[in-house]
Amino acid sequence: MGQLHSMTGFGRIEAQAPDGQLEIEIRSVNHRYLDMQFRLPEGFRSFEQELRKVVSENIKRGKVDITVTFNGYQDEEHAPQLNMARAREVVEQLQTIATQMENPAEVSPMAVLRMPGVLEDRPIDIDANLPATREALQAAVDRLLASRAAEGAKVRDMLEERCRDIATIVAAVQIRLPTVLKEIRKRIEQRVESLNAQIDPERLEQEIAIIAQKLDVAEELDRLLAHVSEVRSTLSGEQPVGRRLDFLMQELNREANTLGSKSADTETTQAAVDLKVLIEQMREQVQNVE
């Protein structure tokens, strides 16, 4: 049996990269197509195409938001470097300014260090962090898929239950159908008798047959069962089935509407209403299936 996936899910992972700590969060909600939005730290924008490939290889539908956070290491190896040439330049500039002032304050070394360009961040080889980022994203996607599969299992159970309910209602209407047709015939004959009119029996029989045929819902009931069977078959597929299920919901609803419009008795009308309620419940869940 295939696995049904919801389009709603969440995944989060923390991982080590050569030059810092990675944190990746990925969220998805329902969407007609696959729509990816990335939030990447400075310098990581060049990774986007590689990261998009990781997502698109695993997810086919949904609005997917991916946030990548990168915190560089603060150890000695990654500590900022002192630019002595820039520091001397800053000191000379401060001393020049001091000559233009009365009783100038002494130049503080900390003040010099805070000046732009005196302490420089060590350059990070961004490309060296790509493999770790790609691996961490795959792990986050796996967690997202697990949550989508868990939600999809709940949707599958609900759809299968509604399919059983629909089949039960259709079976009940099918059992009553011969009785309903007899009642239709009886009502027509009684109406003719009340008119006290001389009508050719053969012509009357033809008219009764035409009316009964117009009100006969056997085909609609057969198609409802056929669509239910197709829904069950689709649920067992391995590929994303959301669009196929959405189409089948439209077909089920169309047959339920026709059943209601052709109904010749209150019980069949109520059955059509009950069917539409069940189908709408299914349709709402199907909107979130990949």
Strands (E), 30-61: 34-39
User: Which tokens sit at 46?
Assistant: 């060049």
| pLDDT for res 122 | 58
| pLDDT for res 3 | 76
**194: which residues sit within 8 A by CB, 6+ positions away?**
none
| pLDDT for res 281 | 96
| pLDDT for res 9 | 94
Q: How far is CA 250 from its chain centroid?
A: 19
DSSP per residue, 5-16: -BS-EEEEEEEE
Q: What percent of the chain has pLDDT over 90?
A: 50
**269: which residues sit within 8 A by CB, 6+ positions away?**
260, 263
Q: What are residue 29's DSSP bridge partners?
A: 63
| pLDDT for res 1 | 53
Q: Measured between alpha carbons, how far is residue 147 from residues 8, 28, 102, 228 in Å?
A: 8, 10, 70, 27
User: Which tokens sit at 269?
Assistant: 């009308």
Residue with tokens 């520091």: 87
Domains in the chain, ordered, with CATH?
Answer: 9-75+126-148 (3.30.230), 80-120 (no CATH), 153-286 (1.20.140)
Q: What are residue 81's DSSP bridge partners?
A: 120
C-alpha–C-alpha distance, residues 58 and 53, integer Å: 9
C-alpha–C-alpha distance, residues 55 and 33, integer Å: 13
| pLDDT for res 57 | 94
| pLDDT for res 283 | 95
Compute how many other C-beta atoms are within 10 angstroms of the C-beta atom of residue 289.
26
112-132 pLDDT per residue, tens: 767 777 766 656 677 888 999
Residue with tokens 């310098």: 43
| pLDDT for res 94 | 76
CB burial string 120-156: b at 16+ within 10 A, e below = eeeebebeebbebbeebbbbbbebbbebbeebbeebb
CB distance 7 to 287 below 8 Å: no
| pLDDT for res 86 | 77
CB burial string 255-281: b at 16+ within 10 A, e below = bbebbbebbbeeebeebbebbbebbee
Residue ranges in the chain modelled with pLDDT below 50:
none
| pLDDT for res 40 | 94
Compute how many other C-beta atoms are within 10 angstroms of the C-beta atom of residue 241.
21
State the chain's maximal CA–CA distance in angstroms: 130
Strands 34-39 and 62-72, sheet pairing: parallel
